[in-house]
Chains A and B, each alone.
Chain A
């Protein structure tokens, strides 16, 4: 690998021990993947700041870098942390867990990262331009940034993200290179647009595409042209849960796919999957799962629930407003919990418009900076969850030990009012 003079100085330790360590790791990754050189990145998004994922190893690594005086060289946003930073007690987060989370948060803030604490930096952070070279972690954000925005990042993981931010460099391989961004498999939807009136089917569609694609780049045709950024967010998150999808193209929707030919960069594709309405429903039903029966079960189509959770990935203002509109002043049933996961940017807007007061009076909690999957839920005695998020439905059975239902946002609000989840489509 050829390094520029400044990069050699970092690697040699002459720019300090923090830069030597970070550069050693960036160069080693590039060497393993056959990168010819490093490229400058315009920004980074850090996922390694989440104590519940990185544990003491990640805490030690962050503390070591911060202790060596490391500073980020490019604008660097932060993904979720393991607690609601202001209201962790309201969410019954044990103080030891909150304290561990705080240690990691402090290390990243000391390095100059921006305290966005959100998994949707593409909606409420520093939004990259099409073609920008960036180093992002967080699977849903990587997938969205590459696909919907046309920025360029590999599927970076925890801890390499901060090394890229400190050096301002990433190894040039994979999705940073134009020639590796062409579609590889075609998934053709033959589903009426009105089927997507059920917003959870965008998650189901993403889940299905991720399963088909695995680690390849899918090209999606026949997708509703009216899909909103929030719909594409749900799709990205689900595709990056069932598969290792870092980039997809939707013909006529995403920037690198104005036509089918452009999406495949003029190359022939050998594999095509046709998706009909029944396939989409089957994918949605797969996301209704219980921990005990090892995934989905035919018997598990309806029942009582304890928690409604939406905002995975973090809810936009429009999504928060939608919940308020559906509640129409009615109160969440006694004994039920309704949480909207979001960030302080959206919560700030909701405070200014009065939405947060309206929701609080209706029995809905805004949970900021974090995710239900990232702190202990034992104190809540939750047995089952309903959500409109495919990502939440995929991970919750294993991580929270809860039965999980995937439903439209309308059905989620109905469940909050009645305590019962109806069968899909009723």
Chain B
């Protein structure tokens, strides 16, 4: 990833919004219901490679959601509690991921931006990198944070 620090990844917008945070990248689909604890903000699915990790404030990159339709309820509760990811970037734009944000925006005035990216772009991303995500109605981008890289080196 070194060669790409400071690079820009284009995103297809779903739910607009801006976010900044550390990447949590997985190649395994995630069901928020049954796989994520809204109280702690941690992944609890024993079959998931992020199991045990906190997603709070992170930019989550997953290939897709899977499993339960209760995932939108769990995500809404995590938005209420402030344990939610800073943004969710998936390769498939499942409604279940967008619904919590639509409702949270109506009732809490805050939400999780959601966008999609290609599998090819996702393959370049690694957990731990700091990124900025900007998603508008028509365009979206993820900027890998140069400053973070300078701090690391």
Contacts and interface: CB of A to CB of B under 8 A. Distances in A.
Interface of A: 21, 24-25, 28-29, 32-33, 47-48, 50, 53-58, 60-61, 64, 137-139, 142, 154-161, 174, 210, 214-215, 240-244, 289-291, 294-295, 373, 394-395, 397-399
Given A53-B33, A398-B51, 12 more contacts: A32-B98, A55-B81, A61-B103, A142-B69, A159-B99, A160-B95, A174-B95, A240-B68, A244-B29, A244-B92, A244-B96, A294-B47
Interface residues of B, number: 43
A139 B67 contact: yes
B118 to A, nearest CB: 14
Q: Which 5 pairs across A and B sit closest by C-beta, in order of nearness?
A: A157-B72, A158-B73, A55-B77, A54-B73, A53-B70
Contact of A160 (B51, B103, B104): B103
B73 A48 contact: yes
Contacts of B100: 157, 159
B123 interface: no
Nearest to B72: A157
A85 B47 CA distance: 32
Contacts of B107: 60-61, 64
B99 to A, nearest CB: 5
Contacts, number: 160
Nearest to A244: B66
Interface centre among A142, A161, A244, A295, by most chain B C-beta atoms within 10 angstroms, is A244
A242 B106 contact: no
B76 A158 contact: yes
B94 A244 contact: yes
12 contacts: A47-B70, A54-B74, A57-B104, A157-B95, A157-B100, A158-B71, A159-B72, A241-B67, A243-B29, A398-B35, A398-B51, A399-B44
A29 B69 CA distance: 15
A28 B44 contact: no
B6 interface: no
A154 B98 CA distance: 13
Interface string B6-20: 000000001100000
Contacts of A243: 29, 66
Contacts of B38: 55
A158 B69 CA distance: 6
B26 interface: no
Nearest to A141: B69
B56 interface: no
Nearest to B77: A55
A159 B76 contact: yes
B92 A160 contact: no
